[in-house]
């Protein structure tokens, strides 16, 4: 084990493959004072629901929660852009004392009158849980008065981890599902779950499926629309990406509507192709779908293959550290980096579960460090010790990487370039290559390696 001082309580959340027997403690609340890179329940709900563009999203609480989440993710919409506004009840001291229900009620009325949204999501923040506002009752009342679904999202920050926020979001979505009319939805139809249209990724994926001859009933929630979600129970199959956020919903839909689901990833050539083939196989009674799928995969791969080959030469043997939100993302990343000839020296996630970590362990090479809910000090020490050339992470990791003179690739929501699909793989390879081989690293004082 590396000679870095870690909290003894954290020992079971960090593992170097090849060392002692493995049982990752994860899914637990971050240790107080541990400087974890994680967020909260509200954050989880907000990121999942936010891309629904024709709904009203109002944050019930003091201003901060609304301010920090105002249009920070690049979830694109092809139509309405109401989701890019920031609505908040901006609770003040008086509201904390006397309750914020009235304020919420009037805010909702005002906003629904002004914007005629298809539905409204009301996010409860920490304080709402403490002062005891009956958000559900207010929502119900407004829904009756205004005739649109008004859905409470129970996302008080302290009520668990980001994953619980996903769950709260799923519950809200689940309330919508089943309200629409499913007439006209065909036999070969799917819902795309857990795809948020960052950089237009949902459009890329949707396009593949549609070219296969598969109908996409709804995307949850990238470029999402309330009406599509309402009738999504009419689809024949749920295709779930980002297991952390949406499996819960798929599970509920399976139980209630008998819709089976498969887990996929759209990242990397292998996983992307699997995601298409798995759907084609599910609709195995229609060989045309499979035929078309083959063509798509062949065409898409051959269009990017020559470029990828050139990049692989440059990246061979370079080392990468992965620290991302969901573990599922980490799996795809490991495969994709391997494809590019890179070694993964650290893999970690904020929200992986035991099963995820077991899989991670199987996938990783000897000596790879596996962490759950890491802090910056841990990350930086391992990265230096293992001499990484690249860190893949989110906004908080970027400056840490740069300060150490290491390349970086944003695989979180701040990026603007799609990384999903075949074209996304090429984008990813190019971005990694640009960062890792950047001449700027020649000037970093720390390491005097030749490039």
Using CB under 8 A as the binding rule, whether residue 104 contacts another protein is answered as yes
Using CB under 8 A as the binding rule, whether residue 115 contacts another protein is answered as yes
Q: How far apart (Å, rounded) are the C-alpha atoms in residues 48 and 379?
A: 27
Return the half-sphere exposure (C-beta side, CA atoms, 13 A cut-off) of residue 183. Answer: 1
Helix segments in 1-154, DSSP class H? 41-49, 63-68, 93-98, 101-115, 126-131, 135-146
Q: How far apart (Å, rounded) are the C-alpha atoms in residues 48 and 26?
A: 22
Using CB under 8 A as the binding rule, whether residue 199 contacts another protein is answered as no
Give the count of beta carbons closer than 10 Å to the beta carbon of residue 313: 9
Shortest distance in whole angstroms from residue 83 CB to another protein: 10
Q: How far apart (Å, rounded) are the C-alpha atoms in residues 141 and 144?
A: 5
Task: Give the residue, chosen from 22, 85, 174, 277, that forms a contact with another protein under the rule CB under 8 A.
Answer: 85
Q: Which of the ranges 106-114, 184-192, 306-314, 341-349 carries the binding residues for another protein, by CB under 8 A?
A: 106-114
Residues 211-230 that bind another protein (CB under 8 A): none
Question: Closest CB to another protein among 304 and 384?
Answer: 384
Using CB under 8 A as the binding rule, whether residue 160 contacts another protein is answered as yes
Is the Cα dihedral 334, 336, 337, 340 positive or negative? Answer: positive
Using CB under 8 A as the binding rule, whether residue 1 contacts another protein is answered as no
Residues 364-393 that bind another protein (CB under 8 A): 376-377, 380, 384
Task: Give the residue, chosen from 66, 76, 173, 269, that forms a contact with another protein under the rule CB under 8 A.
Answer: 66
CA of 327: how far to CAs of 13, 247, 264, in Å? 14, 13, 13
Give the count of beta carbons closer than 10 Å to the beta carbon of residue 443: 7
Shortest distance in whole angstroms from residue 396 CB to another protein: 6
Question: Closest CB to another protein among 71 and 365?
Answer: 71
The backbone region for 110, taken as left when phi is positive above 0, alpha when psi lies in -120 to 50, beta otherwise, is alpha
Shortest distance in whole angstroms from residue 346 CB to another protein: 14
Task: Give the residue, chosen from 13, 88, 124, 241, that forms a contact with another protein under the rule CB under 8 A.
Answer: 88
Using CB under 8 A as the binding rule, whether residue 298 contacts another protein is answered as no
What's the distance, Cα to Cα, between the start and end of the chain in Å? 29
Using CB under 8 A as the binding rule, whether residue 398 contacts another protein is answered as yes
Q: How far apart (Å, rounded) are the C-alpha atoms in residues 161 and 36?
A: 12
Using CB under 8 A as the binding rule, whether residue 129 contacts another protein is answered as yes
Using CB under 8 A as the binding rule, whether residue 319 contacts another protein is answered as no
Shortest distance in whole angstroms from residue 90 CB to another protein: 4
Interface characters, 327-366, with another protein (x: CB under 8 A): ----------------------------------------
Using CB under 8 A as the binding rule, whether residue 70 contacts another protein is answered as yes
Q: What is the DSSP letter of 52?
A: B
Residues 3-62 that bind another protein (CB under 8 A): 5-7, 9, 29-43, 61-62
Task: Give the residue, chosen from 15, 87, 203, 428, that forms a contact with another protein under the rule CB under 8 A.
Answer: 87
Q: How far apart (Å, rounded) are the C-alpha atoms in residues 362 and 367?
A: 12
């Amino acid at each position: 084990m590396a000679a870095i001082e870690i909290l003894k309580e954290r020992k079971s959340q960090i593992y170097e493959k090849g060392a002692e027997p493995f049982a990752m403690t994860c899914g637990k609340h971050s240790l107080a004072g541990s400087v974890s890179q994680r967020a909260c329940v509200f954050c989880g709900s907000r990121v999942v629901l936010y891309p629904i563009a024709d709904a009203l999203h109002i944050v019930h609480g003091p201003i901060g929660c609304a301010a920090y989440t105002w249009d920070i993710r690049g979830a694109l919409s092809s139509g309405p852009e109401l989701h890019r506004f920031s609505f908040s009840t901006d609770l003040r001291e008086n509201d904390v004392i006397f309750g914020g229900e009235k304020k919420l009620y009037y805010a909702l009325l005002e906003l629904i009158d002004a914007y005629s949204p298809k539905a409204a999501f009301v996010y409860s923040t920490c304080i709402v849980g403490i002062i005891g506002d009956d958000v559900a009752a207010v929502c119900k009342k407004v829904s009756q008065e205004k005739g649109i679904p008004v859905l409470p999202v129970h996302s008080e920050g302290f009520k668990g981890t980001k994953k619980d926020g996903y769950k709260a979001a799923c519950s809200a979505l689940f309330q919508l599902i089943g309200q629409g009319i499913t007439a006209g939805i065909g036999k070969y139809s799917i819902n795309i779950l857990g795809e948020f249209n960052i950089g237009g990724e949902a459009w890329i994926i949707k396009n593949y499926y549609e070219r296969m001859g598969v109908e996409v009933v709804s995307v949850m929630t990238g470029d999402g629309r309330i009406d599509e979600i309402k009738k999504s129970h009419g689809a024949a199959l749920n295709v779930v990406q980002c297991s952390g956020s949406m499996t819960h919903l798929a599970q509920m839909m399976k139980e209630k509507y008998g819709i089976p689901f498969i887990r996929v990833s759209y990242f990397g050539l292998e996983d992307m192709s699997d995601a298409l083939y798995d759907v084609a196989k599910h609709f195995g009674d229609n060989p045309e779908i499979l035929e078309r799928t083959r063509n798509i995969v062949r065409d898409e791969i051959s269009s990017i293959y020559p470029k990828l080959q050139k990049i692989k030469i440059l990246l061979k043997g370079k080392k990468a550290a992965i620290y991302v939100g969901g573990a599922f993302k980490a799996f795809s990343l490991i495969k994709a980096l391997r494809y590019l000839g890179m070694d993964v020296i650290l893999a970690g996630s904020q929200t992986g579960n035991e099963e995820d970590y077991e899989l991670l362990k199987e996938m990783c090479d000897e000596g790879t460090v596996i962490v759950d809910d890491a802090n910056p000090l841990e990350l930086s020490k391992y990265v230096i010790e293992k001499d990484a050339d690249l860190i893949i992470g989110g906004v908080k990791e970027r400056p840490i990487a740069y300060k150490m003179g290491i390349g970086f690739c944003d695989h979180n929501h701040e990026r603007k370039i799609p990384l999903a699909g075949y074209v996304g793989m090429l984008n990813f390879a190019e971005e990694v290559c640009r960062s890792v081989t950047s001449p700027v690293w020649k000037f970093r004082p720390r390491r005097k390696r030749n490039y």
